[in-house]
Structure 1
Amino acid sequence: MIRMLAWACVLAILALSLAPGDARPHTALPGKLEHFIAYAGTGLLFSIAYRRRRTRALIWGALVIASVVLEGIQSFIPGRSPDLLDALASSTGLTVGLACGAALARLWPRA
């Protein structure tokens, strides 16, 4: 179940990252904080769902690359613009989420 939620978060990030600016929902939060929270939650779920360090490292690398690529693609989407600081906020959130999830996973044994 947690794995499905983690992958659903990835799909949500893809959809929101590739949506035109006027079609994307907005919160009252600053954009960088939105990025941080989205990726931190995703990282937390992945870290709980996938317990092996190597798997977590691969997930980290893949999602960091994805955040940079998605930012670059936004230069071709109406109402969007790439921002390297958004990718940095995403990557930082991912790192924090994975670390917190790893700590929780150690306390939360598999059923």
Structure 2
Amino acid sequence: MSSQFLNLFAPERRGLWRALLALLLITVTWLALSPAPPRTVDTGWDKSNHALAFAALAFAAVWALWPRPRQWPALAAALLVYGGAIELAQSFVPSRSADWLDLLANGLGIAVGLAAASPIAGLAARRP
């Protein structure tokens, strides 16, 4: 892999990843709690929406906060709690409902995001 690509994941870039993570958290929260989210950001299947959102959150969170794989269980737990909080909050939003299968899709997305980050983390750790 090119060093330019790996530079995207260097510790000096952590501020950019944190900004991206904050933007993703705001966007996902807004989409999840909006009574009528825009259809333009819908994949057509609710579970894939959840999986994609949480894959992006997990991937960004690795580089923003938890770049070491041994820290990833805490990351996964934090994102699952966030997903559970969203589901609970949705039960109070008109035209929305809580669905625990959404939490399962969130977990799958987290696993995908961490799996995508894993080979990059390995290469970045070996970098001089």
Distance 2:22 2:74 in 1: 14
Matches within 5 A, 1:1-111: 1-20=16-35, 22=36, 24-26=37-39, 27-49=42-64, 50-108=66-124
Structure 2 unaligned regions, length at least 5: 1-15
So what's the TM-score if we normalise by structure 2? 0.74
Higher relative contact order (CA 8 A, sep 6+): 1
Question: Would the aligned equivalents of 1:39 and 1:91 in 2 still touch at CA under 8 Å?
Answer: yes
Question: How many residue pairs end up in the alignment?
Answer: 109
Stretches of 4+ aligned residues off by more than 3 angstroms: 108-111
What is the CA-CA distance between 1:102 and the residue it aligns to? Answer: 2.5
So what's the TM-score if we normalise by structure 1? 0.84
Moved more, 28-37 or 95-104: 95-104
Structure 1 unaligned regions, length at least 5: none
